[in-house]
Amino acid sequence: MHTPFTDNQDKAFLRKTMMGPNAMRITEELASYLPISAEMRILDLGCGKGISSILLAEKYGVTVYAADLWIRPEENAGRFACVGLDARIFPFSVDATKDIPFLPHFFDMIISVDSYQYFGHDEAMLPKLLPYLKDGGLIAIAVPGFNEDFAEGQVPEVLKPFWTPEWYFYSSNWWKALWEKERGIEITILREMDSCKQAWDEWLQSPNPYAQEDRKMMEAGAGKYFNIIQMVGRKR
Ligand X SMILES: C[S@@+](CC[C@H](N)C(=O)[O-])C[C@H]1O[C@@H](n2cnc3c(N)ncnc32)[C@H](O)[C@@H]1O
Tell me the H-state helices in the chain: 11-17, 23-31, 51-60, 73-82, 116-120, 125-129, 172-180, 196-204, 209-219
Residue 185 interacts with ligand X (CB under 6 A)?
no
Among 95, 149, 186, 213, binds ligand X (CB under 6 A): 95
Among all residues, whose Cβ is closest to ligand X?
A: 48
Smallest gap from Cβ 191 to ligand X, in A, equals 18
Q: Which listed residue (48, 91, 137, 233) binds ligand X by CB under 6 A?
A: 48
Residue type, 211: A
- Which residue stretch of 1-9, 74-82, 113-121, 147-155 sits at the interface with ligand X (rule: CB under 6 A)? 113-121
Considering only 25, 29, 52, 62, the residue that binds ligand X (CB under 6 A) is 52
DSSP string, 2-57: ----GGG--HHHHHHH-SSS-HHHHHHHHHTTS---TT-EEEEET-TTSHHHHHHH
What is the rounded distance in angstroms from the CA atom of residue 52 to the CA atom of residue 27?
6
**Site residues for ligand X, window 69-88 (CB under 6 A)?**
69-71
Q: Nearest distance from residue 36's CB to ligand X, in Å?
A: 18
Q: In angstroms, rounded to a whole number, what is the distance separating the alpha carbons of residues 117 and 114? A: 7
Among 4, 46, 145, 233, binds ligand X (CB under 6 A): 46
Work out the end-to-end distance of the chain between its first and last CA atoms, rounded to an integer number of angstroms. 41
Task: Tell me the C-alpha distance between 166 and 117, whole Å.
Answer: 9
Nearer to ligand X, 154 or 164 (CB): 164
Which region among 14-22, 81-89, 213-221, 226-234 touches ligand X (by CB under 6 A)? 14-22
Residue 115 touches ligand X, criterion: CB under 6 A: yes
In angstroms, the CA 210 to CA 20 distance is 8
Instruction: Determine if 230 is a binding residue for ligand X (CB under 6 A).
Output: no
Q: Answer yes or no whether residue 214 interacts with ligand X by CB under 6 A.
A: no
94 is a site residue for ligand X (CB under 6 A): yes
In this structure, are residues 73 and 91 in contact, taking their beta carbons and an 8 Å threshold? Answer: yes
Q: In the bound complex, what is the minimum distance in angstroms from residue 190's beta carbon to ligand X?
A: 20
Helix (H) or strand (E) holding 186: strand 185-192
Least distance between ligand X and beta carbon 98 (Å): 8
Residues 228, 196 contacting (CB under 8 angstroms) = yes
What is the binding site for ligand X (CB under 6 A)? Answer: 18-20, 23, 46-48, 51-52, 68-71, 94-97, 113-115, 118-119
